[in-house]
Every structure is written in C-alpha cells, then in structure tokens.
Amino acid sequence: MKIDFSEAATEKDLQVIRDIAADIWPKTFAEILSAGQITYMMQMMYAPEVMRNEVNNGGHFIIVSVDDTPAGYISWSPYQPDGTAKLHKLYLLQKFHHLGIGSAMLAEVEKRAADAGFTRLILNVNKYNETAKKAYFRNGFTIAESVQIDIGNNFIMDDFVMAKDIDTHK
C-alpha cells in the first residue's frame, strides 16, 4: 500500500476534496448532527470561494491518495503566533479505515507543521465523535478544553479542543 500526500494546488484538486467530503460527511455525522446542520456546514467549509480564501490566507489542503486513488484529505494552517498550528480537517473514506492511514495522515501534518516551525498542534473534534476521539488519543493528543461555538443559522459546534506538542527535531 502506497500513501501519497499532495498539496492541493488547483481548483480541480479542491474539487477532489469537496467530492470526498460529500461522501464522508453525511455518513460520519448522520447520528451526531441534523441533516440541516450537515448541509449548512458543508457549504460553510467547502464552498469553492471558502476553500480558495483559506488557501490564499496561508491554509493548506492536502489530498491523501492510497495506491494512486484519492482516499482522504487534510487541512491545516498557522493558528497563533505562539508556535501553534491548527488541524482543521482530517477525513478518510470509510473503506480506508483501520489500515493505519489515519495515523500516517496525523504524522504527515505534524511533520509539515514542525518543518514550518510550529511546536504545538491543536484541533477541534465533535464531543460525540467517538471514533475520531479514540484516534486522536491513540496518536498522543489530549483534551485541552471544551467549547461550544455558534456557527450561525442557530447551529452550535459542541467540541473538544485537543492538543499535542510536536517535535521539531524529527
């Protein structure tokens, strides 16, 4: 199994990410969020102009391919001037779960953040997404705080902020 990580550089690349998200999101969040909130959040995070704006402002989207087949994606960016980067999105198609690819994805974003000089990585995870929480715990993240974020349209993100110090000397 060959895993490749490629920075999304074109509109076509960003469309690949949107297509994967359209497959993953309804399945991942169907039991956690309402259909209305899933639709709202998909538009809020994956509209072409939103993704383009994130890239133009220093964000990174990475397509994850397994044996040359797009399998998932990562999004991360600088977060605070104190050396913290934020992992915004890490999603993998279900048929690629339980193969160690998620851990490889986390290792890749940690490496890229460390190479860029960051010493800490944070992320938000839905409090009820047990699968994701277990994966993050298994990969050395701890819960830093509990937050409820009003994202508009009467929707709330009920999350844990998780954090991990990253080694810049790997």
Note the pLDDT of residue 91.
96
Distance CA 113, CA 76 (A): 8
User: Residue ranges of the chain with pLDDT lower than 50?
Assistant: none
Res 5: pLDDT = 98
Burial status of residue 69 (CB atoms within 10 A of its CB: 0-12, 13-18, 19 or more):
exposed
Model confidence pLDDT, tens digit, residues 39-88: 999 999 999 999 999 999 999 999 999 999 999 999 999 998 889 999 99
Cα gap 54→127, rounded to integer Å: 25
Tokens matching residue 24: 């993953």
pLDDT at site 73: 97
Burial label, 121 (beta-carbon count in 10 A; 0-12, 13-18, 19+): buried
